[in-house]
Structure 1
Amino acid sequence: MTANIFTLSIKGHNIKKTKPLRMKEEAPGTALKPLVFRVDESTPRVVQSVLLERGWDKFDEQRQDVEDWNLYWRSSSFRMAEHVNVKPWQRLNHHPGTTTLTRKDCLAKHLAHMRRLYGEALYEFTPLTFIMPNDYTKFVAEYFKEKQVLGTKPSYWICKPAELSRGRGIVIFSDIRDLIFKGTSYVVQKYICNPFLVGRYKCDLRIYVCVTGFRPLTIYMYQEGLVRFATEKFDLSNLQDYYAHLTNSSINKSGVSYQKIKEVVGQGCKWTLSRFFSYLRNWDVDDLLLRQKINRMVILTVLAVAPSVPVASNCFELFGFDILIDENLKPWLLEVNYSPALTLDCSTDVSVKRNLVHDIIELIYLNGLRSEEEKCSVASLGSAKVSLGGCQRELRTAPNSPPYISLIHSPPYMSLIQFASRRSSKSSPAVQRAHVRVWPKHTRTSKLREMMNRQDLLLTREAAKSKPKLKAWRTPHKVLAQSEPHKTKRPGPAGVLPDAGHAPNDHAGNFVLIFPFNEATFGASRNGLNVKRIIQELQKLMNKQLSSDKS
């Protein structure tokens, strides 16, 4: 049997390929196809470009089986039936129910609920927020209360449509008479009028976060990112100049000062996150402490919505957290973005976003399927030890069955059906056919999937016999305080979707694991989701870091 496999560069544009792997059942000379990605008209071009670079094939419904794909990436959400019917060899780039994190009014409700449960101090990273029209009376009372305290000094507020993005529909005002509602749902927040300025220009941070699962909750922070600048100097006397007050790139790239060389900022309206932290260090700012605060903010924000997100397998979610730093170096959460923009408008976009997509593919371990496929086909019969993300597992196979390791678990159909039933009293035909298996044509994907389905029961039984073994955890301070992006990559696949029984890898590419950060939080997330216990561990960590900073 021939056992030559693909070898791909992790980041490079040049791709080396050897002869494709042949399975034992295949006749000599039969080549199996590469892994397959599926897209639609909303899929960012950079995603398609990176996958093609890495040796993937684009799905063609005219010539391929309907289920013969490994990754489906698109900007819009998937229907519940698509989540229910996802196969063990497939990944979706959206998790069901995550819009509760990215819709501004829903996020505000969840964060308010967490403040009531665990105290204002823990969730003080969001500005005072009112959800319109329900909170209009409360907002008016707060507005005039503040006016009475400030006297002749103005108060500043910002109004945002709950569902829109890219700065559309935003109004910044000081006089309540300037507030005009044009839609059905808005949020009104205190405007942060003392932002940290770079050369007198306002900026915010676009932080990329990938949640690879909610049960167990697994959160990775990308160590590189974007810093987005306004293109006119900050000026509270002119609230109508959006080029001075809004940092959205979609707005500022059309401004007259976009191409000008601006003080400190330079040309354009973006920096890399690493450049920004380097700038802070030049001013003797403790950038590690700032990163720690941002990491905790991300964990606490995801925790606010995690209990309401349904259990689902074989999917992941990339979020874009927009964070503003004030002049006291306090980070404020502005919003969380669904399908954060991956368009390449400038050289900074290219350097950050192309690498981001490469590292996401490594994080979800799709390219690792090739090496695992080889292990399944060439390992000896009887008893085999196979490594997954640094964890060894012994599998005992029947005399005539091939060794096998499952990279992912079958989706928990009932959990998703119950979630869907809240919206529809009757399941769709696709949901009702969730357990029907269809065996497509013999390709690389179909061969892999046959092995995976053949041994599902075996893996389940083996996993039930032994208790999960935890890897040694890195020191939480080190995990939560990465100062620089990783400059080098590990050889081969660097990450894997967390197995239900094992702790996830601490990093993949420039993604660093920020949750779980110790055995207690891993256990509190794996067996259900014990938010109270997780909050307690976070508070311990915050107190420890605070003591360390004082000393």
Structure 2
Amino acid sequence: MNHANRALRYWLGEKSDPEHTRFFVDALNARGWVAGDAEHWDTAWLTPMPEPRVYAQLGPDQRINHIPGNNQLTVKSALHQTLRAAAQRWRNLPGQDGTQAGPAFMPATFNMPDDFAALQTAARAMPESAWIVKPANAARGEGIYLTDSVDRVPQQPGWVVQRYLDQPHTLDGVKYVLRLYVLISSLDPLRIERFAEGSVKLASAPYDPAERDNVYAVLTNPDVSARNPASSVTFLSLHTYAQRLRAMGHDPDALMARLDDLIVQTVIAAVDGMRKRCADEHVAPDRVYELLGLDCLIDSALKPWLLECNLSPSLEICANEATGGREERVMKKALVDDLLVRVGIIPEPSQAGTRFKRLFPTPESSRYWPMLVSPSLADQPAAQRALGKDFSPVFVPWQVVEHYGERGLALEHTATGQVFNPNPTAAWIWLQAVSGMPADAIAKQLVATAAAASTPTLAQAREAVWHALGEWARNGLLRQTPVNTRL
């Protein structure tokens, strides 16, 4: 950041929530930062999404805490669609335990009104199931209720219906949901991190599957629990939760590994859409980052289920001093302090002391690379460092029929009927790709076979090849294979 002869400035936006901003402000004030305004700031910490004009005016030395396109994760109806589309792409990819990859960690979900017929079919197949009805874009437990009859759910847009998981794991007979803090510290190249701590959101009444109308037993949101006159909101840390699981004879490390797998798959499912939105809005991906609050229910078999991803997760201290409020405050302050280091807003000689755990890329993340619609050139060095070998994506045809005519090659998307007409160079790239040639090998061959007068540099050829392959993959004509070739 270029800040010669002046203090660095932060901006909180016009609709900031003091509970969401105070740890951010405290951390920066302690380091000599000062409050700025909409026209003069170096970093912004906004509670809601910024107006388009904010992204349009984003300068090279500014950082902001929201990524365009994050609604693919943070809007309940869009999250379901994002994961469903990913499941189609990930067919035949290996999962964590050797089974097929795919987000089998989200309860059956239906967007109203488009999925109403499918919901009715599911309800007939599971007559004993209850269904939880949620506003598609609300928070803090607002508007959520249970029903035994899908015929009574709203059929207008803006509602999501989800199969109710009625066999949760409990602590002292109380239902709970884990709140995990996930940081997309870099979009391109992609970096996904999880804060080492988190919280256990406890319901405020004992769980009884027969008492579906008791919101204090069924819902775990602190805002709902706070309304229960017979109980207080209690903070329980992820660390303490792990200790309790171990005392019960369970393996918390195995559970966290499954949760980390869930996190990486969820974020990867939305990465390409976020990158495309950044490109469409001319937002440099190195100027944005995102902190998400993932809510995961753990069932009686210790299987984690993703319920939702929250934009600007609450940093409010919900517990009082007697029920863990001090520990909650320490955890949330550390979360923000460490985040500011991880994204480079607060420079530190070493980031090793932060409590964020890198989930992707890592040396163990090789199976995730084919899940990306199309890795970017910026991803390649990170992939090679993580894998310890050269990395170049390989693609196979998907949802496409090739047509040859007087105008050359035409590509028809089998699902939409859309036709793509690549120019001769792009058509040549296509033919090499569908023959199984890795992206960088295609680029080298392009340089070797080009006419002398128009020979591109290798860098230009790589840019052209990776871009073309990425566009075809984004349009559903190509799909990555698990084969990553050493060049």
Matched with 1:175 is: 149
Q: In structure 2, how many angstroms separate the alpha carbons of the residues matched to 1:72 and 1:121?
A: 37
Deviation at 1:214, TM superposition (A): 2.0
Correspondence 1:183-194 to 2 at 5 A: 184-194=157-167
Given residue 122 of structure 1, which amino acid in structure 2 is its aligned partner?
G
Structure 2 contact 394–483 (Cα < 8 Å) conserved: no
Correspondence 1:39-438 to 2 at 5 A: 39-40=12-13, 41-43=15-17, 44=20, 45-59=22-36, 66-67=39-40, 69-119=41-91, 122-147=102-127, 154-177=128-151, 179-181=152-154, 184-259=157-232, 268-309=233-274, 310-311=277-278, 312-346=285-319, 347=325, 348-368=327-347
Inter-CA distance 494–118: structure 2 relative to 1 (3 Å threshold): same
Given residue 358 of structure 2, which amino acid in structure 1 is its aligned partner?
L
Matched with 2:471 is: none
Matched with 2:456 is: none
Given residue 313 of structure 2, which amino acid in structure 1 is its aligned partner?
P
- Residues 113-141 of structure 1 show CA distances to partners (whole Å, capped at 9, x for unaligned) of 12223247532111111111111111112
TM-score for both structures, normalised by structure 2: 0.68
3-state SS, counterpart of residue 302 of structure 2 = coil
Deviation at 1:537, TM superposition (A): 8.9
Inter-CA distance 232–536: structure 2 relative to 1 (3 Å threshold): farther
Q: In structure 1, how many angstroms separate the alpha carbons of the residues matched to 2:112 and 2:335?
A: 36
Given residue 200 of structure 2, which amino acid in structure 1 is its aligned partner?
V
Matched with 1:402 is: none
Deviation at 1:97, TM superposition (A): 1.0
3-state SS, counterpart of residue 94 of structure 1 = coil
Are 1:513 and 2:478 matched, yes or no? no
Q: In structure 2, how many angstroms separate the alpha carbons of the residues matched to 1:95 and 1:353?
A: 21
Structure 1 contact 222–511 (Cα < 8 Å) conserved: yes
Bigger drift between 342-351 and 193-202 goes to 342-351
Structure 2: gaps (5+ residues): 92-99, 279-284, 320-324, 380-392, 396-478
Matched with 1:411 is: none
Q: In structure 2, how many angstroms separate the alpha carbons of the residues matched to 1:531 and 1:509?
A: 36
Inter-CA distance 117–330: structure 2 relative to 1 (3 Å threshold): same
For CA contacts below 8 A with separation 6 or more, give which structure has more relative contact order.
1
CA RMSD of aligned residues (A): 2.7
Deviation at 1:335, TM superposition (A): 0.4
3-state SS, counterpart of residue 286 of structure 2 = coil
3-state SS, counterpart of residue 60 of structure 2 = coil
- Residues 188-240 of structure 1 show CA distances to partners (whole Å, capped at 9, x for unaligned) of 11111110100000000110011022221111111101110000011122211
3-state SS, counterpart of residue 212 of structure 1 = strand
Inter-CA distance 188–284: structure 2 relative to 1 (3 Å threshold): same
Q: In structure 2, how many angstroms separate the alpha carbons of the residues matched to 1:237 and 1:60?
A: 53
Inter-CA distance 224–534: structure 2 relative to 1 (3 Å threshold): farther
Given residue 124 of structure 1, which amino acid in structure 2 is its aligned partner?
A
Inter-CA distance 39–124: structure 2 relative to 1 (3 Å threshold): same
Inter-CA distance 531–340: structure 2 relative to 1 (3 Å threshold): farther
Bigger drift between 321-330 and 81-90 goes to 81-90
Given residue 142 of structure 1, which amino acid in structure 2 is its aligned partner?
A
Given residue 343 of structure 2, which amino acid in structure 1 is its aligned partner?
I
Matched with 2:377 is: 527
TM-score for both structures, normalised by structure 1: 0.60
Structure 2 contact 259–304 (Cα < 8 Å) conserved: yes
Deviation at 1:508, TM superposition (A): 5.7
Given residue 90 of structure 1, which amino acid in structure 2 is its aligned partner?
Q
Structure 1 contact 205–228 (Cα < 8 Å) conserved: yes
Structure 1 contact 318–339 (Cα < 8 Å) conserved: yes
- Residues 286-342 of structure 1 show CA distances to partners (whole Å, capped at 9, x for unaligned) of 111111111110111111111111343311100000001111110000000011111
Q: In structure 2, how many angstroms separate the alpha carbons of the residues matched to 1:525 and 1:277?
A: 35
Structure 1 contact 203–324 (Cα < 8 Å) conserved: yes
Q: In structure 2, how many angstroms separate the alpha carbons of the residues matched to 1:79 and 1:535?
A: 38
Given residue 99 of structure 1, which amino acid in structure 2 is its aligned partner?
N
Given residue 357 of structure 2, which amino acid in structure 1 is its aligned partner?
V
Structure 2 contact 116–155 (Cα < 8 Å) conserved: no
Q: In structure 1, how many angstroms separate the alpha carbons of the residues matched to 2:314 and 2:211?
A: 29
- Residues 23-61 of structure 1 show CA distances to partners (whole Å, capped at 9, x for unaligned) of 7xxxxxxxx443221113414223222322333212257
Q: In structure 2, how many angstroms separate the alpha carbons of the residues matched to 1:269 and 1:213?
A: 33
Q: In structure 1, how many angstroms separate the alpha carbons of the residues matched to 2:480 and 2:206?
A: 42
Q: In structure 2, how many angstroms separate the alpha carbons of the residues matched to 1:77 and 1:508?
A: 30
Q: In structure 2, how many angstroms separate the alpha carbons of the residues matched to 1:350 and 1:58?
A: 23
Bigger drift between 167-176 and 332-341 goes to 167-176
3-state SS, counterpart of residue 224 of structure 1 = strand
Given residue 292 of structure 1, which amino acid in structure 2 is its aligned partner?
A
Deviation at 1:156, TM superposition (A): 1.7
Inter-CA distance 362–537: structure 2 relative to 1 (3 Å threshold): farther
Given residue 24 of structure 2, which amino acid in structure 1 is its aligned partner?
V
Given residue 239 of structure 2, which amino acid in structure 1 is its aligned partner?
S
Structure 1 contact 95–315 (Cα < 8 Å) conserved: yes
Structure 1: gaps (5+ residues): 1-21, 24-31, 148-153, 260-267, 369-491, 496-506, 539-551
Structure 2 contact 192–358 (Cα < 8 Å) conserved: yes
Q: In structure 2, how many angstroms separate the alpha carbons of the residues matched to 1:226 and 1:323?
A: 11
3-state SS, counterpart of residue 239 of structure 2 = helix
3-state SS, counterpart of residue 512 of structure 1 = strand
Given residue 148 of structure 2, which amino acid in structure 1 is its aligned partner?
S
Structure 1 contact 243–252 (Cα < 8 Å) conserved: yes
3-state SS, counterpart of residue 240 of structure 1 = coil
Structure 1 contact 363–508 (Cα < 8 Å) conserved: no
